[in-house]
Chain A
Amino acid sequence: MEDDFLRLEHITKVYDNGIMANDDVNFSARKGEIHAICGENGAGKSTLMKQLYGVEQPNEGRIIVKGEEVRLSSPLVAIAHGIGMVFQHFMLVPSLTVAENVTLGIEPTHGLRFDAERAVAMTREVCDKYGFDVDPTAKIQDLTVGTKQKVEILKALVRGADILILDEPTAVLTPQETDELFVQLRALRDTGHTIIFISHKLGEVKSLCDRITVIRHGHTVGTYDVRDVSESDISRLMVGAVVQEEVPKDPARPGAPVLEVKGLSVADQNGKLAVHDVSFSVREGEVVGIAGVEGNGQAEIINAITGWASPAAGTVSIDGHEVRALSIRGLRDLGLAYVPEDRMTLGIASNLSIRENMIAGKQDRPRYNKGVLQDQQAIREDTDQWIREFDVLCDGGEQTVGMLSGGNIQKVVVARELTAAQRLIVCDQPTRGIDVGAADSIRRRLVRMRDDGSAILLVSADLGELLNLSDRLLVVFDGRVVAYFPSTEGVSEEELGYYMLGVRQMEGQQTGGAYLV
């Protein structure tokens, strides 16, 4: 009976493009449990959850909520059955207040008017009931990422949701914010809410969840009590093979400096300084990492290095050539590769094929040209090889990139960039949203390229990845370098968290050590 709280039976979902995302999937959750769903990218987790939230409809199978078979034809119907979802990309309207966002769609009205006072009262009531510390009158655009996420959860709770789906909620949070989120999720569980937690981070699954369902290639592998399985068990169930968490690497053998950033200040789009007097260098054969909560100047530093923004003060140079004076093409010719954070906007042309995306930027090379025409044969050979090498899950090179899952799109971007240039590689969140196996292979490749003499700058929200890959590590807070570690040996994620939140700060002398020539 208690398994009837939420049950998905024999769910099969085939998309219009013929991709079978779910094949006879079974899933059930009890009242008052935190249930993890784990699986690689493209395994069908998101599709399954979209069907549970009414965004997609299954071709076959039944969904049973609280003992009653339901047809979830739209999110509205799902909400009416007490199902709420917190998306990976926040579904918030930045210029509106918390209360307006929370009540959007169920707005209280007074005659013709939108009743703003009642909206605030409704929000405050839910905040008080579940212990959320959020100001209902604040504008979304002024909130931190962690608070925005709370607003998303509030949105579901105010609608009376007792089944909450969270899609990789910790991807954007600091360790401290993650801890806070977990406290709140446990409290919600204890008040009888069922939480479905989608995550790649197996450590989090172990510490937070009661049960886990593993999905692989559209099939359910099984449901387990979390205390009965270890992290390596889970990853083995997910990919069918044991994945080693840490990428092994030898000590770096750094050479001459490639990237030199000196006294860099950069203004954001409003003309406000977002980066203040930052100096560091990246040498041949080393990985320099930048840690920090999103929005603390990382994006602007990278923009100044990749030629997207001009410094307000200071210099950025690659092998002695000042970036400001060069076109993007000139930078590329110097050997700059760039894996952008925002893959959908900067990383790909979503309407073009995988081949076209992978060859973009290399199209002028003699190898791909035969007279005035492109050499399709050569392009096909090379892109096919990259698709295999980077393990892009697709129907073939002609497939439109936009049709792939997020993780596979990222693989296309990484494949293009890492095969384009070797001198300086700037990676912004190279493995975000990618499954364990693919992330591991990208990390290994980065280490291999380092060993072959590439200079690598790595920005990542995954602190484990930063600590694993970086030879030297900076922490930025509020546009300044607040900490510098000449070696990541013995540095813990918690310690980084304190610097990332601005709780601690190193002396200028120490952080100045980041600039090595």
Chain B
Amino acid sequence: MSVLEALAGILSNPNFYFTFLSTTVPILLPTLGCAIAENVGSTNMGQEGIMLLAAFFGVIASAYTGNVWVGFLAAVAIGLLMGLAISYFALYLQVDIILVGIAVNLVGSGLSAFLMYVFTGDRSATTSLQSGTLPFIDLPGIKEIPYIGTALSGQSVLAWVAYLLVPVLSFLLYKTRLGLRIRSVGENPHAAESVGVSVNKTKMYALVISSVLGGIAGAYLSMSYLPYFSKGMSGGRGYIALAATAMANNTPVGSLWTSLLFGFFYALSTYSGALGVPAQLVTTLPYLATLVGLVVFAIRVQGKERRRRQEGAHAAAEGDDGAARAA
């Protein structure tokens, strides 16, 4: 009973909603990224590594130039470079894209930790560096509104960017030529190829967009959410993004809802003290939610496979991308 009362207490605390919206951002960005990649028929497993590298190099660039926007641009550039690298390995060298993603994640966690030690002599965080934080936006009029004002005012500029990206990416996917091509390539690459749409080029665009979103998420982590880089600070959000994307059926709007769901558990875990249950238990909540999410994902994939099998000769002609990977 006391747990429920504590929960009610947390939910009636206006500050909780501020936390809720800000914990959602570093999940929403990689989730949107994964959604774009899934639409083109590729799984971007590497968000975790991209976020770490972007977060780290963002802090370094910010600290050494004294300009936080240079740090932000460095993070975006890391996303761009990683997107190109993933495309190069997966599309031109034909390495399995899941393996490429795993490699990116291993490199991301290892390289960021190693370079942090090289640059700062510290093994856990870059607190010794004078890196900046991106501006937080105060909303003078709205600030006074209970709950809504508290939740919205003072969020990072990147939080606004993240939420605005939901309609922007919806527009990109469903209303533009690139979006049409991305969806066509994802659904039937042979069809796209046969009318002269370059499958690799389209996939590369989608993977670069996807990875840049991971880069922005990294910038948010180390220059907004926290004012420094710490080892492994992405905390599995890149994997959570995969689950969130799958549950969202790969749509940007759906990604927003599932990201909010995971963000909610993250926010709750930061209030673990007030819940009166062991902190360790509460901090497992986001991961528990991910596990449930992944089970949903697995069931979906199975359904898709079954459909593919039954669709017969036409759709499953000469081993298309997905079937080949499943085999």
Contact = CB atoms under 8 A, between A and B. Distances in A.
Interface in A246-278: 268-269
Contacts of A87: 190, 194
Contacts of A105: 192, 195-197
A107 interface: yes
A94 B188 contact: yes
A93 interface: yes
Contact of B307 (A79, A89, A155, A269): A269
Contacts of A462: none
A299 B315 CA distance: 14
A283 B183 CA distance: 49
A492 interface: no
B192 A299 contact: no
Interface residues of B, number: 34
A79 B188 contact: no
Given A93-B183, A109-B177, A350-B319, A299 B191 contact: no
A342 B191 contact: no
A104 B316 contact: no
B316 A344 contact: yes
Contact of A269 (B187, B196, B306, B318): B306
Contacts of A90: 191, 314
> Among B197, B307, B313, which residue has the most Cβ atoms of chain A within 10 A?
B313
A350 B192 CA distance: 24
A269 B303 contact: yes
Given A90-B314, A269-B310, A113 B191 contact: no
B193 interface: yes
Contact of A344 (B194, B196, B319): B319
Interface string A398-425: 0000100000000000000000000000
A503 interface: no
Interface string B170-198: 00000111011101100110111111110
A176 to B, nearest CB: 20
A402 B327 CA distance: 14
B310 A299 contact: yes
A75 B196 contact: yes
A303 B180 contact: no
> Among B191, B192, B315, B319, which residue has the most Cβ atoms of chain A within 10 A?
B191
B265 to A, nearest CB: 32
Given A114-B177, A269-B307, A269-B310, A92 B193 contact: no
> Among A79, A94, A104, A106, which residue has the most Cβ atoms of chain B within 10 A?
A104
A286 interface: no
A336 interface: no
A349 B324 CA distance: 11
Contact of B191 (A104, A112, A345): A104
Interface string A74-113: 1110010000010101111111100011001111010011
Interface in B179-235: 179-181, 183-184, 187-188, 190-197
A114 B192 contact: no
> Among A91, A106, A345, A349, which residue has the most Cβ atoms of chain B within 10 A?
A345
A101 B194 CA distance: 11
A92 B188 contact: yes
B323 interface: yes
Given A101-B191, A346-B309, A113 B184 contact: no
A341 interface: yes
Nearest to B313: A342
> Among B176, B187, B310, B319, which residue has the most Cβ atoms of chain A within 10 A?
B310
B191 A91 contact: yes
B149 to A, nearest CB: 34
Nearest to B185: A93
User: Across chains A and B, which 4 residue pairs bring their CB atoms closest together, nearest first?
Assistant: A76-B196, A105-B195, A89-B317, A91-B191
15 contacts: A87-B190, A90-B314, A91-B194, A93-B184, A93-B191, A96-B187, A109-B177, A268-B310, A269-B307, A299-B310, A299-B312, A342-B309, A342-B313, A344-B319, A432-B313
Interface of A: 74-76, 79, 85, 87, 89-96, 100-101, 104-107, 109, 112-114, 155, 172, 268-269, 294, 299, 303, 341-346, 349-350, 402, 429, 432
Interface of B: 175-177, 179-181, 183-184, 187-188, 190-197, 303, 306-310, 312-319, 323, 327
